[in-house]
Amino acid sequence: MSQITDDGSIIPSNPKDQEAILDAIKEADEALTKAEIQKDAVAAIVDEIHEKYEINKGIIRKMIRTYHKQNFNKVEQESEDFITAYETIVKG
C-alpha cells in the first residue's frame, strides 16, 4: 500500500516504482555533478581571462552569458533602459 505524506505526496509501495524513482534520482544526481564540473570549468576560464587581461570578472561572465544566449540586443536594450531610468529618477 502506498503512503501519503502530510503534504499529500503519494509514496509508492511497489518495489518497481521505487526502483524507477531511485534510478531517476541517480540520473539527476549525475546531471548535477556534470553541471558542477562545467561551472567550475567556466570559473577557471573567467579567472584565466581576468589574470591575463585584467578585465573585471563580472564583465567577463556577462560577455560569456550574452555570447551563449546570443542575446546582445536584449542586454543592450536593458542597459539603455536602466540608464534612462537611473538618470531620470536618481539624477533628476
Task: State residue 6's pLDDT score.
Answer: 87
Mean pLDDT, each 10-residue run in order, the chain (92 residues): 86 95 98 98 98 98 98 97 96 88
pLDDT value for 37: 98
Rounded Cα distance, 45 and 6, in Å:
46
Helix 57-69, helix 15-53: angle, nearest 10? 130
pLDDT at 92: 84
Please name the residue ranges forming H helices in 1-92. 15-53, 57-69, 72-89
- Strand duo 10-11 + 3-4: pairing: antiparallel
pLDDT for 15: 95
The Cα–Cα gap between 56 and 48 comes to: 12
Determine the Cα–Cα distance for residues 73 and 36; give it in Å rounded to an integer.
29
